[in-house]
Copies of this chain bind each other. A is one copy, B any other.
């Protein structure tokens, strides 16, 4: 077994980013932090941390950090079962969630987990396909992700599909769409989440057999900001059905194609770990997803 204080120190460096910040959190000197990390590296016979700013894990470091987090979680779980929860730290559950889920259906999860488990949620906004990196590096214990490929040591279960509808504001339609979107696409402005968002291009290609959404694109990397930009008439775009519905009803958005939508399948990936906190969260996620996502 690796000494717990060394593992805890490595975790603190990774979480806080620097030896100095880790020292502040642990209430020890930076040189003590440095010594413990060095001792852990001697014990494992591997370099675990690149001394960059912020410090970065080597591949061996990732393995050790994952172990450290699993040990910490099991330790906390045991304390809760023993009724010792209040004597220890609250359980922190780091989870990666994609931006649109965070803005739409994910929130009930946070209130759906029994309060007596004393879980603190540490949500990370998924940076696209970055989630698997976060899981592999041990920075999160679970993730809502669009990737069905399990990260090593993780289990995967499907949550259902998130439906996106092609919409625009009535003003945008009046100004730009005197012909069907199928003909106009590529020449009219479009709103896109960020450089990695290919939903609009996929939709355009399906509509036109090959052309993408064109060069007139605004990038608005915020889920609510994206909808607001479409409502303001900056461009057309694909909006999650949950966000589009009330605006279609009130007439601030118009559906551009009633027969086409894009369904993005979502998955829950989590470490294979027998932890009540993680199990309760997974159950709450499945419950919320059942309400909000399409299952077929």
Contacts and interface: CB of A to CB of B under 8 A. Distances in A.
Contacts of A215: 89-90, 120
A16 to B, nearest CB: 8
A176 to B, nearest CB: 11
Nearest to A95: B219
Given A102-B225, A107-B228, A121 B15 contact: no
A121 B218 contact: yes
Interface string A221-246: 11111001100111000000000000
Interface of A: 15-16, 89-90, 99, 102-103, 106-108, 110-111, 118, 120-125, 189, 195, 215-225, 228-229, 232-234
Given A90-B215, A215-B89, A223-B222, A232 B122 contact: no
Contacts of A218: 110, 120-123
Given A102-B225, A111-B234, A120-B219, 14 more contacts: A15-B195, A16-B195, A90-B215, A102-B221, A102-B222, A106-B225, A107-B232, A110-B234, A111-B233, A120-B216, A121-B220, A123-B219, A123-B220, A223-B224
8 contacts: A89-B215, A106-B225, A118-B216, A120-B217, A122-B218, A123-B220, A124-B219, A125-B222
Nearest to A100: B222
B110 A219 contact: no
A42 B270 CA distance: 48
A216 B107 contact: no
A124 B221 contact: yes
Most B C-beta atoms less than 10 A away, residue of A16, A216, A225: A225
A40 B123 CA distance: 42
A240 to B, nearest CB: 13
A201 to B, nearest CB: 13
Contacts of A122: 218-219
Contacts of A110: 218, 220, 229, 232, 234
Given A232-B110, A232-B111, A233-B111, A221 B89 contact: no
A217 B94 CA distance: 12
Contacts of A111: 232-234
